[in-house]
């Protein structure tokens, strides 16, 4: 059996690592990174080069392709693979609109009474600006499309809201993602991520995680792609998890069925918990990064069969069980990240960091004649499992202590 994983980040390294644990003989990754290279054959095809990826999968007779990034989904990779009879884990372009169009997702939630903050949708900046003058603050301004995690702005007053609307809609700082804007009620509470595997036959709960979006300790500094994660989420008690399944996942599955949308793949709900009630902030149509780096090391047993069931629209043949241990993933980022990351610095000490239940997932790295160098903003996701958060944290931060590259930055409060 052979598997192709699409993407080049820490999430994809965690997926490749899991496939290796599952005993997959031949793993390919497009395009991969220096860490993935140790486990898989990396091929230099970009994640959104749909045609190149289809041709490659056909040539290598790939049994299962697993999609990492949302850009590949938006480019229609699942539709293209399916047309050619290839098995691929992920939603079609239409189903992925749960992530790629926030207005589509929010209207669906509203129609089916699934809890989510109040919102309005605008397709002209003039209308959005008029509305911004009538609401209370803080309020949330969101670009409709995908904007590398940067398209959500919390406005403290109407002048900030208007500036955000102009940036998104008139100046198109996020390109076409800003054709439409949502203005949403601000909710204060505890954020968590919840993952299920899905297809038209049902769903399989995968578990929870929490990511740390800001650059610096105590949620200070600019937003990033994620500076760390923990799994399970400390904010999602088993009772709350039951509520999430009952009030969000089941109704969503019914809504998708009624709308005639077949959703195969992983569905990741970004939740806000307020007064012990979960609300959907957003959906993502793929595994989270860096949540996956914390979540997947907890999965016991084989995963490839379950992913194949989801991709083929079969009844899930197995359940997923997770280790009781908690997991902590601390991201090491380059100097200057997120604004202007410095790259090409040598990374030392990777081998010294390895230990039992410690996983060094690479993101922005490259191998230059055997020397591992930084090649992006987020460089490594140093993950450790432990019986308690304290134990997992100690292991992760001990591993980080061995790894050196110029200007590295990481938060010291992941899991605290
Ligand atoms: N951790 C946020 C994301 O994957 O979008």
pLDDT digits (tens, 9 = 90+) for 106-133: 999 999 999 999 999 999 999 999 999 9
CATH architecture label of 124-179: 2-Layer Sandwich (3.30)
Whole-number Å distance, alpha carbon 214 to ligand 1 midpoint, is 12
Q: Whose CA is nearest to atom 4 of ligand 1?
A: 288
Architecture of domain 326-400: Alpha-Beta Complex (3.90)
Distance from the CA of 111 to the center of ligand 1, in angstroms? 26
The topology under which CATH files domain 2-92 is Rossmann fold (3.40.50)
Q: What is the pLDDT of residue 288?
A: 97
In the prediction, which pLDDT does 318 show?
A: 80
Give the pLDDT score at 150.
83
Fold: same for 2-92 and 124-179: no
**Arch. (CATH architecture) of 190-322:** 2-Layer Sandwich (3.30)
Across 182-208, average pLDDT: 96
Does residue 70 have its Cβ closer than 6 Å to ligand 1? no
How do residues 356-405 score in pLDDT, each as one tens digit?
Answer: 999 999 999 999 999 999 999 999 999 999 999 999 999 999 999 999 99
323-334 pLDDT tens trace = 999 999 999 999
What is the distance in A from the centroid of ligand 1 to the CA of 229? 10
Q: Measured between alpha carbons, how far is 53 from 146 in angstroms, rounded to an integer?
A: 22
Domain boundaries along the sequence of the chain: 2-92, 124-179, 190-322, 326-400
Residue 317 reports pLDDT greater than 90: no
| 99 ligand 1 Cβ < 6 A | no
Q: Is 226 in the pocket of ligand 1 (CB under 6 A)?
A: yes
Ligand 1 binding pocket mutation candidate from 192, 288, 414 (most atoms within 8 A of CB): 288
Ligand 1 pocket check for 270: Cβ under 6 Å: no
Q: Is 284 in the pocket of ligand 1 (CB under 6 A)?
A: yes
Chain-centre distance of CA 87, in angstroms? 21
What is the number of helices (H) and of strands (E) in the chain? 14, 23
Q: What are phi and psi of 179, to 5 degrees?
A: -65, -35
In this model, does residue 319 exceed pLDDT 90?
no
Distances (CA, A) of 224 to 150, 183, 268, 334, 410: 8, 22, 18, 12, 12
């Amino acid at each position: 059996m052979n598997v192709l994983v699409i993407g080049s980040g820490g999430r994809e390294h965690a997926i490749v690592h899991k496939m290796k644990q599952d005993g997959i003989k031949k793993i390919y990754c497009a395009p991969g990174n220096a860490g993935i290279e140790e486990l898989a054959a990396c091929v230099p095809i970009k994640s959104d080069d749909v045609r190149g990826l289809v041709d490659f999968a056909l040539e290598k007779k790939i049994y299962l392709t697993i999609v990492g990034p949302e850009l590949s989904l938006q480019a229609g990779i699942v539709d293209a693979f399916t047309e050619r009879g290839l098995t691929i884990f992920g939603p079609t372009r239409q189903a992925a609109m749960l992530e790629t169009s926030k207005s589509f997702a929010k209207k669906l939630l509203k129609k089916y009474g699934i809890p989510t903050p109040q919102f309005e949708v605008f397709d002209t900046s003039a209308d959005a600006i008029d509305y911004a003058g009538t609401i209370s603050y803080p309020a949330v301004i969101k670009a409709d499309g995908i904007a590398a995690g940067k398209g959500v702005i919390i406005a403290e007053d109407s002048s900030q809201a208007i500036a955000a609307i102009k940036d998104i809609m008139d100046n198109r700082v996020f390109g076409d993602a800003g054709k439409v804007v949502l203005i949403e009620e601000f909710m204060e509470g505890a954020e968590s991520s919840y993952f299920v595997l899905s297809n038209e036959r049902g769903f399989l709960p995968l578990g929870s995680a929490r990511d740390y979006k800001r650059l610096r300790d105590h949620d200070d500094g600019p937003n990033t792609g994620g500076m760390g994660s923990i799994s399970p989420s400390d904010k999602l008690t088993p009772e709350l998890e039951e509520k999430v399944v009952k009030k969000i996942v089941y109704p969503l599955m019914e809504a998708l069925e009624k709308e005639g949308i077949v959703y195969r793949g992983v569905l990741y709900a970004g939740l806000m918990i307020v007064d012990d009630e979960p609300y959907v902030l957003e959906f993502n149509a793929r595994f989270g990064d860096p949540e996956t780096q914390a979540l997947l090391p907890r999965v016991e047993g084989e995963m490839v069969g379950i992913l194949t069931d989801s991709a083929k629209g079969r009844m899930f043949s197995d359940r997923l069980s997770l280790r009781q241990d908690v997991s902590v993933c601390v991201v090491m980022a380059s100097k200057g990240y997120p604004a202007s990351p410095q790259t090409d610095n040598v990374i030392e000490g990777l081998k010294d960091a390895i230990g039992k239940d410690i996983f060094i997932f690479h993101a922005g790295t490259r191998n230059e004649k055997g020397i591992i160098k930084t090649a992006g903003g987020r460089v490594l996701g140093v993950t450790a499992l432990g019986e308690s958060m304290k134990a997992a944290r100690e292991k992760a931060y001990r591993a980080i202590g061995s790894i050196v590259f110029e200007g590295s930055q990481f938060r010291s409060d992941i899991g605290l």
